[in-house]
Amino acid sequence: MHPAFECFEWGAFDVGRPHPLGHSVHPDGRWGHAVLSLRRTGEEIGDAWYLLDGPTLTVMVQVADKNGGQDDPWLIRLVAETLFGEEGFTGGYYDRQATHIKYRNIKTTGVWDGSWAEMRGTPVGGGGSGNSDN
> Residue 11's beta-bridge partner residues?
35
Q: Which domains does the chain have, with CATH numbers?
A: 3-121 (3.40.630)
For 93-118, the pLDDT digits (tens) are 999 999 999 999 999 999 999 999 99
| Integer Cα distance of 1 and 88 in angstroms | 8
Among 20, 19, 46, smallest CA distance to 32 is for 19
| Integer Cα distance of 83 and 78 in angstroms | 8
| Integer Cα distance of 78 and 21 in angstroms | 23
For 3-42, the pLDDT digits (tens) are 778 899 999 987 778 999 999 998 888 999 999 999 999 9
pLDDT for the residue 70: 94
- Name the pTM for this structure: 0.86
For 46-96, the pLDDT digits (tens) are 999 999 999 999 999 999 999 999 999 999 999 999 999 999 999 999 999
